[in-house]
Amino acid sequence: MNRTWLWPYVAYVVGFGLIPMLATFYLVGANFRGVLHGFPINIFNISLINTLVFSISVAVFAVLMALALAVRVDSLPDKWQTPLSLLILLPFTIPFTASTLVWRTIFDARYGPIYYVFSILHLKPIDMITVPNFSIWGVIIVGIWSSVSFAYLIILSGFKSINKELKEISMVDGATMSQYYSQIVIPYSFKSILTAFLITLVLSMGNFDTPFILTQGGPGYSSTTLPLLVYLMMFFMGNFSGGEVMAAVLTLMATVPAVLLLLVLRGERGWVRMPSIKMPDLAFHTILWAVAAIILMFLIMPVYWMFLIAFRPNNLDFTFPPLLYPTHVTSQYFLEALRESVPYIMTSLAVGLVAATISTIFAGAASYIMAKRKSYSLLLLSIYLYSLPATSFIFPLFVFASSVGLINTWWILMMGTPIFTITMVAWTMFNIYQDVPDVYEEIAQLEGTSSTYILFRLIMPITMGSWAASFILSFIFNWHLLFYPLVLTETPWQFNFPPTGAQTVTIFAALAIGNQVVDWGLLASAALIVALPVMILSYIVMGRLLKGFSFGGIKG
Look at residues 362, 349, 373 and name the one whose alpha carbon lies nearest to residue 422.
Answer: 362
Which pLDDT value is given to residue 553?
A: 44
Q: What integer is the mean pLDDT of 464-491?
A: 90
Q: What integer is the mean pLDDT of 28-46?
A: 70
Which pLDDT value is given to residue 321?
A: 85
Inform me whether the pLDDT recorded for 518 exceeds 60.
no
From 77-81, 143-147, 344-348, the region with the lowest mean pLDDT: 77-81
Contacts of 523 (CB under 8 A, 6+ apart): 101, 104, 105, 512, 513, 515, 516
Local confidence band at 543 (pLDDT 50, 70, 90 cut-offs) = low
Domains of the chain, each with CATH number or no CATH? 4-29+40-547 (1.10.3720.10)
The Cα 14–Cα 238 span in angstroms is 29
Q: What is the pLDDT of residues 209-254, one digit of tens each?
A: 999 989 989 888 999 999 999 888 877 777 777 777 888 888 888 8
Which range, 203-212, 253-262, 531-540, is most confident? Answer: 203-212
Q: Which amino acid is at 354?
A: V
Q: What is the mean pLDDT of the chain?
A: 85
Which pLDDT value is given to residue 65?
A: 97
Which pLDDT value is given to residue 556?
A: 41
Inform me whether the pLDDT recorded for 544 exceeds 70.
no
Which pLDDT value is given to residue 516?
A: 44
The Cα 515–Cα 333 span in angstroms is 12
Share of the chain above pLDDT 70, in %: 93
Residue 58 and residue 204 in contact, taking contact as beta carbons nearer than 8 Å: yes
Q: What is the pLDDT of residues 426-463, one digit of tens each?
A: 988 887 887 777 777 777 777 777 777 878 888 888 88
Q: What is the pLDDT of residues 3-18, one digit of tens each?
A: 888 999 999 999 999 9
Local confidence band at 49 (pLDDT 50, 70, 90 cut-offs) = very high
Local confidence band at 37 (pLDDT 50, 70, 90 cut-offs) = low
Residue 344 and residue 325 in contact, taking contact as beta carbons nearer than 8 Å: no
What HEC string does 99-145 produce? HHHHHHHHCCCCCCHHHHHHHHCCCCCCCCCCCHHHHHHHHHHHHHH
Contacts of 421 (CB under 8 A, 6+ apart): 355, 356, 359, 473, 474, 477, 478
Q: What is the pLDDT of residues 76-103, one digit of tens each?
A: 888 888 888 888 988 887 878 888 888 9
Q: Is the dihedral of CA 317, 319, 325, 328 positive or negative?
A: negative
Q: What is the pLDDT of residues 381-434, one digit of tens each?
A: 898 898 888 888 998 999 999 999 999 999 999 999 999 999 999 988 887 887
The Cα 80–Cα 288 span in angstroms is 15
Inform me whether the pLDDT recorded for 353 exceeds 80.
yes
Which range, 21-35, 102-116, 164-178, is most confident? Answer: 102-116
Which pLDDT value is given to residue 554?
A: 43
The Cα 462–Cα 218 span in angstroms is 51
Inform me whether the pLDDT recorded for 310 exceeds 60.
yes
Local confidence band at 1 (pLDDT 50, 70, 90 cut-offs) = low
Which pLDDT value is given to residue 371?
A: 86
Q: What is the pTM of this model?
A: 0.88
The Cα 320–Cα 141 span in angstroms is 23
Which pLDDT value is given to residue 449?
A: 76
DSSP H/E element including 211: helix 209-214
Contacts of 362 (CB under 8 A, 6+ apart): 8, 9, 12, 418, 422
Which pLDDT value is given to residue 31?
A: 61
* Number of other residues whose CB lies within 10 A of the CB of residue 49: 12
Which pLDDT value is given to residue 555?
A: 41
Residue 128 and residue 134 in contact, taking contact as beta carbons nearer than 8 Å: yes
Look at residues 321, 299, 127 and name the one whose alpha carbon lies nearest to residue 214.
Answer: 127
Which pLDDT value is given to residue 483?
A: 92
Inform me whether the pLDDT recorded for 56 exceeds 80.
yes
Share of the chain above pLDDT 90, in %: 35
From 10-14, 78-82, 272-276, 504-508, the region with the lowest mean pLDDT: 272-276
Q: What is the pLDDT of residues 146-185, one digit of tens each?
A: 999 989 988 988 888 787 778 778 887 888 888 888 888 8
The Cα 388–Cα 391 span in angstroms is 8
